[in-house]
Amino acid sequence: MVACRIHIQVHSAPKLEGAISPNMKVKVASKSENQRKLRAIIEVKSEMGLTEYLRSIDWEQEAYPAYEDFTILLLFILYFPTVRFFLDKFVFERLGRRLIFGKGHQKLDLQSEEQRKKIRKFKESAWKFTYFLSAELLVLSVTYDEPWFTNTKYFWVGPGDQVWPDQKMKLRLKGVYMYAAGFYTYSIFALIFWETRRTDFGVSMGHHVATVILILLSHIFRFARVGSIVLALHDASDVFLEVGKMSKYSGAERTASFSFILFVLSWIILRLIYYPFWILRSTSYEVILALDKNKHSIEGPIYYYVFNTLLYCLLVFHIFWWVLIYRMLVKQIQARGQLSDDVRSDSEGEDDHED
pLDDT of 268 reads 96
Mean pLDDT score of the chain: 79
Which residue would you say has higher pLDDT here, 49 or 308? 308
Element (H, E) at 298: strand 298-299
Q: How does pLDDT run across 280-308, given as a tens digit for each residue? A: 999 999 988 877 655 554 445 677 888 88
End-to-end alpha carbon distance in the chain:
54
Predicted TM-score (pTM) of the model is: 0.78
72-86, 94-108, 124-138, 263-277: range with lowest mean pLDDT: 94-108
pLDDT of 100 reads 87
Q: How does pLDDT run across 129-143, given as a tens digit for each residue? A: 999 999 999 999 999
pLDDT of 63 reads 86
pLDDT of 62 reads 83
Nearest CA to 223 out of 300, 295, 305 is that of: 305
Q: By percentage, how much of the chain surpasses pLDDT 70?
A: 73
Residue 60 banded pLDDT, cuts 50, 70, 90: confident
Please enumerate in sequence order all residues whose Cβ is within 8 A of that of 342, keeping only pairs 6 or more positions apart, or say none. 198, 245, 348
Q: Tell me what the mean pLDDT of segment 113-124 comes to.
A: 87
Helix, strand, coil shares of the chain as percentages rounded to 5? 70, 5, 25
Q: Tell me what the mean pLDDT of segment 109-117 comes to.
A: 73
The reply to whether omega before 165 is within 30° of 0 (cis) is yes
Question: Residue length, the chain?
Answer: 355
Q: How does pLDDT run across 192-216, given as a tens digit for each residue? A: 888 877 777 888 898 899 889 889 9
pLDDT of 43 reads 55
Domain ranges of the chain: 66-96+112-334
Q: Check if the beta carbon of residue 99 is closer than 8 Å to that of residue 250.
A: yes
| Distance between CA atoms of residues 148 and 88, nearest Å | 38
